[in-house]
Homo-oligomer: A and B are copies of this chain.
Amino acid sequence: MMTTPLMIPLLQEAVDSLRMLPSIGEKTALRLALHLLRRPQEETERLGNALIALRTRVRYCRICNMISEEEICPVCADTRRDHSLVCVVESIRDVISIEETGEYNGVYHVLGGVISPMDGIGPDDLPIAQLVGRVSSGGVREVIIAISKGMEGETTSFYINRLLSGTGVRVTTIARGVGFGDELENADSLTLGMSIKNRTPLL
C-alpha cells in the first residue's frame, strides 16, 4: 500500500519522520500527521519543541548515568535518599519502573546495557569501573543488582559481583517469583522454582 508518494511534500516529510519511530508504520504515521492538522497549531509546536528539547538538552548524571537536566540527577542530588544503597540497572526505563513502585529510597547506577560478546559489548564498554569506583570510594554498604535474567544478564551480574567481592560491600539481587495476581500454572518453571526456593514466612 501507499507506494505512491503523498502529493504534499510537507506531509510526506512528516510521515517519513514519524515512521522512524518504533512500531509506527506508514498508515499510523499518516493518521498521526492528519490528526495534528485538525488540532490547534500550539499542540504541534509543543510536541515538536518538547521532543527537540528532550534530545538536545538532556544530559547524563555524572554519578549514576541516569538522564538529567543538570550535572547531577535529582535522585543523586536528593539528600533524603540513602546513598549507601546502590541499585544497578540496565536502563533509564528500569529506574523509572523502580521509582514508580515507591518502594525504593536508595540511589542507582545505570549501565546502559549488559555484557554481550555477540553485540561486541564488553565490560569496558559499560560503566562498571565507575561503579567499582563509587563503591571503593566508600559510603556504600549494599549494591542491589537488578539486571534481567538470561545469559547476558547473568554474565554481567556475575562479573560485577566478582569485582565487588573484595570490597566488603553487600551484594544482593532482586527477588524473582510468581507475580502478584499471576496463576501458578502460567508461571514458567524457572520462575516457579525460584519462587518456592526463596519462599518467605506467611504474614
User: Residues of A at under 8 Å CB distance from B?
Assistant: 1-4, 6-11, 13-14, 16-18, 20-23, 28, 30-37, 39, 41, 43-58, 67-69, 73-75, 91-93, 96, 99-100, 102
Contacts and interface: CB of A to CB of B under 8 A. Distances in A.
A7 B74 contact: yes
Given A20-B43, A33-B54, A41-B56, 6 more contacts: A10-B57, A11-B54, A37-B92, A44-B56, A45-B55, A48-B51
Nearest to A68: B8
Decide if the interface of chain A is mainly helix, strand, loop or mixed.
helix
A50 B96 contact: no
Q: How many subunits of this chain does the assembly comprise?
A: 2
Nearest to A35: B22
Contacts of A46: 17
Contacts of A51: 14, 17-18, 33, 36, 44, 47-48
Contacts of A93: 30-31, 34
A32 B41 contact: no
B57 A4 contact: no
Q: Which 6 A-B pairs have the closest CB atoms?
A: A44-B55, A48-B48, A48-B52, A17-B47, A17-B50, A14-B54
